[in-house]
């Protein structure tokens, strides 16, 4: 009887207890604060900084799906960012398409490219996969540079943002604050759903032992490509918003390896394969980076790089797993965890 | 009635080495086939060829009347086939229950929800005697429990054909007895089972027929008692001199 009734229940539904209520309350309060911040507390430039933070939350979550859950460390996710940005800029500048139509088009391009690239590249594992994705991203950048009739080559392309030619009125710093906030929430929501679903379990199984996963009936090709496509979707949407925000885009900016490295580092430091880890990693590192840039302009990159190295060496499992472990043992277990990871 | 599994002239070469060479047999429903042979006889390769983890260089694999030669492992799983691995392959960052639930979440008899999959995992863990460790991490299990987990992951898929790759290796006599008892009860429920073992004794009591492999080829295929008395088998296992001594001793006993 029990199996019959639970068979009809939707996946993963659990009773709502006090813990869920508290969590829901905190989330709701956080959302209200985030919604009110621009109007009452933040300067326009601070809103721009926050938009950058939200963008990296979305990028880190996008990477988390393929690099964290599926265990395929993509070093070319910026390719989706760049393609999403260029799709948007070209459609808005050359075809006069409104941003709200260019955005789903960019998302579709991200998904399509992820599937096309994923089918061959996801056959590789580990370092080989990382190198192949890096190579594809660099290759696409070169193609974009050379298609200058369409892309404007190295000098780039400018989205009509003001005046009579503007197809969608420029939303300004407050507008982009909300665009990127919505995207960060969408990305985190997607990751949350994945983490509780059969799809998420399948990806984790693939990450931990692909041969055993296939023997358990998991269509590993299909799941990996789906995770990559979802990653491409979120990343391309971020690129679309970024292109509109920046107005003028060029290949060196949209296909920068720095962006890939940042999303990887944020997800890893926060905690890959978790829902909240990439959020924590993106928020911490983006604020840190901004603060260093303002206060130590000359040494910014040097100090930022050093801090990342220390963080990865001390907390290779990520902040979230470290916090969970410490909580489980009711003590700060830094030394133990370091020992456990044989550093 | 169509056999559950037909293997026809199956071969797999690795370069110049024929790991499996021209092996044929068929298995009817609720039949147990024991596959034995010394190290390197091709037993694990045979399983890998049936389950799609390796592609055969020649021959056919037919499951339930359908030719599945060269199909991917998940397609084989969809044909209601489950297997264990000789070197156990737990999902290390999932707990024991979740490990087993994966088997119930995918494949042909998939559960409707992750919760139902977990419930089914608990039933299977109960059956293999691993219920108390449901929340444990697989990395902390001892040899016997790790083998039980490997078996539970396969059983959670509710297969019609089960391929066991040395699930009894490293177990103590009492644990082997429990494993054999489980195999018998699965057979009684109509499951078809192929058991690969290095140790001959364990397998003979549960197998309907036994296939002895040697250097990739079928050496003998027959009833357990026939196989046990076959001189070629003794020779393959214990060497020519031992076989000669055994024969001499038997003749002596016969002559007296």
pLDDT tens string B100-155: 999 999 988 888 888 899 999 999 999 999 999 999 999 999 999 999 999 999 99
Residue B54 near chain A (CB below 8 Å) = no
DSSP class of residue A140 equals: H
- The nearest alpha carbon in chain B to A211 belongs to B53
Q: Is A248 helix (H, G, I), strand (E, B) or coil?
A: strand
- Contacting residues of A for B101, CB less than 8 Å apart: 201
Are B25 and B151 within one domain? no
Establish if B193 belongs to a structural domain: yes
Q: Taking CB atoms and an 8 Å limit, are A217 and B77 in contact across chains?
A: yes
Considering chain A, what is the average pLDDT of its residues? 88
Q: Taking CB atoms and an 8 Å limit, are A6 and B112 in contact across chains?
A: yes
Are B170 and B146 within one domain? no
Mutate to test the interface with A, among B89, B100, B150, B154 (most CBs of A within 10 A): B89
User: Do residues A223 and A89 make contact, with C-beta atoms less than 8 angstroms apart?
Assistant: no
Q: List CB contacts of A137: < 8 A, sequence separation 6 or more.
A: A75, A76, A77, A78, A79, A82, A255, A257, A260
Chain B from 127 to 186: CB within 8 A of any A CB: 153, 157
Among the listed ranges A56-60, A195-199, A339-343, B158-162, which one has the minimum average pLDDT value?
A339-343
Establish if B234 belongs to a structural domain: no
Question: Shortest CA distance to A313 belongs to which of A282, A343, A268?
Answer: A343
pLDDT tens-place string over residues B213-255: 999 999 999 999 888 888 888 777 767 777 777 777 777 776 5
| Beta strands at B161-165 and B81-83: parallel, antiparallel or unpaired | parallel
pLDDT tens-place string over residues B186-221: 999 999 999 998 777 778 889 999 999 999 999 999
Are B164 and B70 within one domain? yes
Residue B114 near chain A (CB below 8 Å) = yes
Residue with tokens 């409707």: B112
- Contacting residues of A for B102, CB less than 8 Å apart: 201-202, 205, 213, 216, 218
Are B62 and B48 within one domain? yes
Establish if B242 belongs to a structural domain: no
Q: Which of B126, B157, B188 is the last residue of a domain?
A: B157
**Distance from C-alpha of A266 to C-alpha of A279, rounded to nearest angstrom:** 8
Q: Taking CB atoms and an 8 Å limit, are A208 and B103 in contact across chains?
A: no
* pLDDT tier at A337, thresholds 50, 70, 90: low
Q: Taking CB atoms and an 8 Å limit, are B102 and A216 in contact across chains?
A: yes
Q: Taking CB atoms and an 8 Å limit, are A217 and B91 in contact across chains?
A: no
Are B153 and B169 within one domain? no
Residue A335 has pLDDT above 70, yes or no: no
pLDDT tens-place string over residues B67-85: 999 999 999 999 999 999 9
A6 → closest Cβ in B90, B102, B115: B115
- The nearest alpha carbon in chain B to A195 belongs to B114
**Distance from C-alpha of A280 to C-alpha of B182, rounded to nearest angstrom:** 48
User: Do residues B130 and B145 make contact, with C-beta atoms less than 8 angstroms apart?
Assistant: yes
Mutate to test the interface with A, among B91, B118, B138 (most CBs of A within 10 A): B91
Q: Taking CB atoms and an 8 Å limit, are A217 and B101 in contact across chains?
A: no
Establish if B7 belongs to a structural domain: yes
User: Do residues A188 and A279 make contact, with C-beta atoms less than 8 angstroms apart?
Assistant: yes
**Distance from C-alpha of B171 to C-alpha of B144, rounded to nearest angstrom:** 6
- Contacting residues of B for A8, CB less than 8 Å apart: 112
Question: Shortest CA distance to A58 belongs to which of A243, A246, A248, A230?
Answer: A230
- Contacting residues of A for B157, CB less than 8 Å apart: 216-217
- Contacting residues of B for A221, CB less than 8 Å apart: 72
The alpha-carbon gap from B89 to the nearest alpha carbon of chain A, in Å, equals 6
Whole-structure pTM value: 0.89
| Beta strands at B217-222 and B58-63: parallel, antiparallel or unpaired | unpaired
Q: Which of B157, B174, B193 is the last residue of a domain?
A: B157
Beta bridge partners of B81: B161
Question: Shortest CA distance to A210 belongs to which of A133, A123, A131, A274?
Answer: A123
Establish if B86 belongs to a structural domain: no
Are B4 and B120 within one domain? no
Are B44 and B134 within one domain? no
Residue with tokens 């992820």: A114
Among the listed ranges A131-140, A208-217, A295-304, which one has the minimum average pLDDT value?
A295-304
Are B73 and B1 within one domain? yes
pLDDT tens-place string over residues A7-66: 334 444 456 778 888 888 998 999 988 988 888 888 888 999 999 999 999 999 999 999
Are B150 and B165 within one domain? no
Q: Both tokens of residue A123?
A: 């056959």
Distances (CA, A) of A191 to A67, A75, A316, A322, B240: 12, 19, 21, 20, 63
Q: Both tokens of residue B185?
A: 């009860």
Q: Taking CB atoms and an 8 Å limit, are B85 and A7 in contact across chains?
A: no
Establish if B244 belongs to a structural domain: no
Residue B113 near chain A (CB below 8 Å) = yes
Establish if B10 belongs to a structural domain: yes
ipTM exceeding the 0.85 mark: yes
Q: Both tokens of residue A224?
A: 């990996």
**Distance from C-alpha of A76 to C-alpha of A117, rounded to nearest angstrom:** 11
**Distance from C-alpha of A181 to C-alpha of B88, rounded to nearest angstrom:** 45
* pLDDT tier at A341, thresholds 50, 70, 90: low
- The nearest alpha carbon in chain B to A220 belongs to B74
Residue with tokens 């391929």: B163
Q: Both tokens of residue A145?
A: 């540079």
Are B148 and B39 within one domain? no
**Distance from C-alpha of B134 to C-alpha of B96, rounded to nearest angstrom:** 5
User: Do residues A93 and A78 make contact, with C-beta atoms less than 8 angstroms apart?
Assistant: no
- Contacting residues of A for B135, CB less than 8 Å apart: none
Q: Taking CB atoms and an 8 Å limit, are A205 and B82 in contact across chains?
A: no
How would you classify residue A271: left for phi > 0, otherwise alpha for psi between -120 and 50, otherwise beta? left
Mutate to test the interface with B, among A194, A211, A212 (most CBs of B within 10 A): A212
Instruction: Kindly state the percentage of chain A with pLDDT values over 90.
Output: 63
Which pLDDT value is given to residue A160?
A: 87
Indicate which CATH number applies to the domain containing B207. 3.40.50.300
Q: What number of C-beta contacts closer than 8 Å exist between A and B?
A: 107
Which pLDDT value is given to residue A4?
A: 38
- Compute how many other C-beta atoms are within 10 angstroms of the C-beta atom of residue A138: 15
In chain B, the number of structural domains is 2
Are B62 and B177 within one domain? yes
* pLDDT tier at A298, thresholds 50, 70, 90: confident
Are B100 and B148 within one domain? yes
Range of the structural domain that residue B216 is part of: 1-80+159-223
**Distance from C-alpha of B77 to C-alpha of B108, rounded to nearest angstrom:** 7
User: Do residues B216 and B41 make contact, with C-beta atoms less than 8 angstroms apart?
Assistant: yes
Q: Which of B110, B132, B157 is the last residue of a domain?
A: B157
pLDDT tens-place string over residues A110-122: 999 999 999 999 9
On the 0-12 / 13-18 / 19+ scale of CB atoms within 10 A, B217 is middle
Establish if B250 belongs to a structural domain: no
User: Do residues B63 and B5 make contact, with C-beta atoms less than 8 angstroms apart?
Assistant: yes
Q: Taking CB atoms and an 8 Å limit, are A212 and B157 in contact across chains?
A: no
Which pLDDT value is given to residue A304?
A: 85
């Amino acid at each position: 009887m029990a199996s019959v009734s639970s068979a009809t229940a939707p996946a993963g539904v659990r009773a709502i207890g006090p813990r869920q209520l508290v969590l829901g309350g905190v989330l709701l309060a956080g959302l209200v604060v985030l919604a009110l911040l621009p109007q009452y507390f933040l300067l326009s430039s601070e809103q721009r900084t926050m938009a950058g933070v939200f963008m990296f939350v979305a990028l880190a979550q996008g990477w988390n799906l393929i690099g964290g859950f599926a265990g395929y460390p993509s070093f070319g996710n910026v390719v989706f960012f760049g393609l999403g940005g260029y799709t948007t800029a070209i459609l808005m500048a050359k075809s006069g398409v409104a941003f709200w139509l260019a955005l789903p088009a960019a998302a579709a391009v991200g998904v399509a490219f992820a599937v096309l690239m994923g089918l061959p590249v996801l056959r590789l594992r580990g370092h080989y996969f990382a190198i192949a994705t890096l190579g594809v991203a660099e290759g696409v950048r070169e193609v974009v540079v050379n298609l200058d009739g369409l892309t404007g080559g190295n000098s780039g392309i400018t989205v009509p943002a003001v005046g009579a030619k503007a197809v969608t009125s420029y939303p300004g710093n407050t507008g982009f604050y909300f665009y990127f906030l919505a995207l960060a929430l969408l990305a985190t929501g997607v990751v949350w759903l994945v983490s509780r679903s059969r799809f998420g379990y399948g990806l984790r199984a693939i990450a931990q032992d692909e041969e055993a996963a296939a023997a358990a009936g998991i269509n590993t090709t299909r799941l990996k490509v789906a995770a990559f496509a979802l990653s491409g979707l979120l990343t391309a949407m971020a690129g679309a918003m970024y292109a509109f925000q920046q107005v003028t885009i060029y290949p060196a900016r949209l296909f920068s390896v720095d962006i890939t490295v940042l999303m990887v580092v944020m997800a890893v430091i926060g905690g890959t394969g978790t829902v909240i880890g990439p959020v924590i990693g993106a928020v911490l590192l983006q604020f840190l980076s901004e603060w260093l840039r303002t206060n130590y302009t000359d040494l910014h990159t040097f100090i930022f790089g050093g801090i990342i190295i220390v963080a990865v060496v001390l907390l290779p499992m990520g902040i979230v797993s470290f916090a969970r472990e410490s909580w489980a043992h009711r003590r700060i277990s830094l030394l133990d965890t370091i020992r456990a990871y044989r550093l | 009635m169509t056999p559950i599994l037909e293997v026809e002239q199956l071969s797999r070469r690795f370069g110049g080495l024929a790991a499996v060479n021209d092996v044929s047999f068929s298995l009817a429903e609720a039949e147990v086939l024991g596959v034995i042979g010394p190290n390197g006889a091709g037993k694990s390769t045979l399983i890998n060829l049936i389950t799609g983890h390796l592609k055969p260089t020649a021959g056919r694999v037919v499951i339930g009347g359908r030719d599945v030669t060269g199909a991917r492992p998940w397609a084989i799983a969809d044909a209601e086939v489950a297997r264990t691995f000789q070197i156990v392959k737990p999902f290390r960052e999932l707990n024991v229950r979740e490990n087993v639930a994966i088997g119930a979440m995918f494949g042909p008899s998939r559960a409707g929800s992750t919760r139902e999959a977990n419930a089914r995992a608990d039933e299977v863990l109960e059956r293999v005697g691993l219920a108390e460790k449901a929340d444990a991490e697989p990395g902390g299990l001892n040899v016997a429990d790790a083998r039980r987990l490997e078996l539970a992951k396969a059983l959670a898929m509710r297969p019609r054909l089960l391929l066991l790759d040395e699930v009894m290796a490293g177990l103590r006599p009492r644990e082997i007895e429990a494993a054999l008892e489980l195999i018998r009860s699965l057979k009684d429920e109509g499951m078809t089972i192929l058991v690969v073992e290095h140790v001959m004794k364990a397998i003979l009591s549960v197998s309907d027929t036994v296939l002895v492999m040697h250097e990739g080829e079928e050496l003998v295929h027959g009833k357990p008692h026939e196989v046990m008395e076959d001189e070629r088998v003794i020779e393959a296992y214990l060497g020519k001199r031992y076989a000669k001594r055994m024969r001499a001793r038997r003749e002596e006993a016969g002559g007296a």
